[in-house]
A and B are shown apart, each in its own frame.
Chain A
Amino acid sequence: MTAAAPARDAGEDDSLATSLTGAPWIWYAQPFPHVVARNVFVPDVQAQLEAGFGAVFDERVRRAEAEASALPADGKRAARRYDADIVSFAEHHRGLFPVLLDAAFHRMLARLMDVRATGDIDGGIHHHVPGSATGWVHNDLNPGWFTPSDRDVNLPDHARGGYKTGRALDGIAPVMRVRAAALIYFLGNGSWRDGDGGETGLYAFEKQPVGAPSKRIAPIDNSLLSFRCTPHSYHAFLSNVRSARRSIILWLHEDVSAADARWGRGSLVGWG
């Protein structure tokens, strides 16, 4: 197996408690169940996360410039459908993103989303330059492959196996998981105003026009959007008109059998 469900360490939750501001989070039922929270982390943690984002993004830019043409293997500009610069989290990023990559945070998120998380986490930083194209309506109910680890929080090992393909080096047996809950944490976006764009649109049905969502979640600094990944958790990135849009994205995973039991076989959306 890959990582077990995150174990509880003495004092770990106390650390989480002091990282959160205590501001209420709000659950909403429509257009599908989701949680929105503002003023999430205390200033020190918020600053650490912004610094971590900056360090990873700067590293990506340097490597891209050095390689002149190709972007790093663990990050790419997905210009085809999702118009963003992405750097996926890897082992060496752990220290840059305190709280978000800690087991206590994932345990809390799994509890709030009511998912039986395996401890396998995918995620990364997403940077949309101004004018990035609007995305497409999708649900995030996708598979992901992880290589074995003893860590409470197991990140994909991009050097040894493909998260989206399951292809791995000889001797590695990746395990297929399913995205169970998504979290988008917004940071470094300055004073966002109506009309700036860059929101996450939420939709009631798959064929709803992407430009006319049922609800728009603004990318306000130190706020988050989280939802359980279901066949109906339809969402999309909406074009940012005036300024860059920065976010950190995390996905908790669960066993394929749990997803199959809940949603039925065939509900998973492959990587097209």
Chain B
Amino acid sequence: MSAGADAPVCLLTGAGGRLGEAILRAYGDRIRFLAVYRTRLPSAASQLAAPFDPRTAEDARTERAGTYAVQADLREAGAVRRVVELALARYDRIDHVVNAAADSAFYGSTLEASHAADELAEQLLLNCLTPALLASEVACTFWRERAEENRALRRSVVNVSSISGLNVYSGSGQGGYSASKAGLQFLSCHMAADYERIGVRVNALAPDRFPGTVPTESVADAVGSLLDGEATGKVYVIDRAGLRPLN
């Protein structure tokens, strides 16, 4: 079942990833998503793909889904602006931004970082800076003049970080990844302070490994609770012990 015409709108990045898919599954019936993916089209029903029951469907495209899927590499020039324009053209509003896109590769020891300079720069751009740029684009084109409405509707940004941004795992070769996520957490706190005057909440979520340590569905539930809640300026951890704020 798709979300109704009055349902809130969420701009979700990383929609084709494991967490993105879980978020679409969990909330697709009550949130309208502009689902941004880079390589893998989300399996959730969208204008580009729609599951159906061949025994009963009138034709292969009977139901028009609420999710609108957009392919984009957000590191490319103009991509951030394009997805925001598409979201507003499609839905006339954006209530939430969930930054779940990430480059999760470990590019090796920092001793040899000079040999992976391009990869590390791209990772930092995607994992740390792009979430801030995307939220800023939404803020500047839609949220900035709507502070009261934003507060009333509890509009928010959720930046999906990682427990790697909180701990040093020696010898794992994830220095670049870890730094990008640590940076995202601090950036989220700064964003929360900056966005307070326009009534938009900003939080970061640092999950332990999923689905290895934490079920992906639990991480999706945590994202949902941050969208629904009142908190701002918080970094939350979700691990075996559950969901809790760090600050």
Interface residues of A (CB under 8 A from B): 13, 16-17, 20, 22, 24-30, 33, 35, 37, 108, 111-114
Contact = CB atoms under 8 A, between A and B. Distances in A.
Interface string B16-32: 00000000000000000
Contact of A26 (B49, B55, B58, B59): B49
Contact of B55 (A16, A28, A29, A35): A16
Interface in B23-81: 41, 43, 47-55, 57-61
Contacts of A114: 59-60
B54 A26 contact: no
Contacts, number: 50
Contact of B48 (A24, A29, A108, A111): A29
Nearest to B54: A25
A29 B69 CA distance: 11
B49 A24 contact: no
Contacts of B48: 28-30
Contacts of A33: 60-61
A27 B52 contact: yes
9 contacts: A24-B52, A24-B53, A26-B43, A27-B49, A28-B49, A30-B48, A37-B54, A111-B59, A112-B59
A38 to B, nearest CB: 11
A22 B59 contact: no
Given A16-B55, A20-B55, A108-B54, A35 B60 contact: yes
Contacts of A25: 51-54, 60
**Secondary structure of the B side of the interface?**
loop
A36 to B, nearest CB: 9
B49 A20 contact: no
A111 B58 contact: yes
Contacts of B54: 20, 25, 37, 108, 112
A28 B60 CA distance: 9
A26 B57 contact: no
Contacts of B58: 111
A84 B55 CA distance: 32
A27 B44 CA distance: 11
Nearest to B61: A27
B51 A22 contact: no
A87 to B, nearest CB: 27
A112 B56 CA distance: 9
Given A22-B55, A112-B57, A112-B59, 16 more contacts: A24-B52, A25-B60, A26-B50, A26-B52, A28-B41, A28-B48, A28-B49, A29-B49, A30-B48, A33-B60, A33-B61, A35-B60, A108-B54, A111-B57, A114-B59, A114-B60
A113 B49 contact: no
B61 to A, nearest CB: 5
B58, B59, B60: residue with the most chain A Cβ atoms closer than 10 Å: B60
A108 B55 contact: yes
A22 B59 CA distance: 16
A70 to B, nearest CB: 40
The residue in A13, A25, A30, A33 that gathers the most chain B C-beta atoms within 10 A of its C-beta is: A25
Contacts of A24: 51-53
A113 B52 contact: no
Contact of B53 (A16, A22, A35, A111): A22
A31 to B, nearest CB: 11
Contacts of B47: 29
Interface string B196-233: 00000000000000000000000000000000000000
Contacts of B60: 25, 27, 33, 35, 112-114
Interface centre among B47, B48, B50 (most CB of A within 10 A): B50
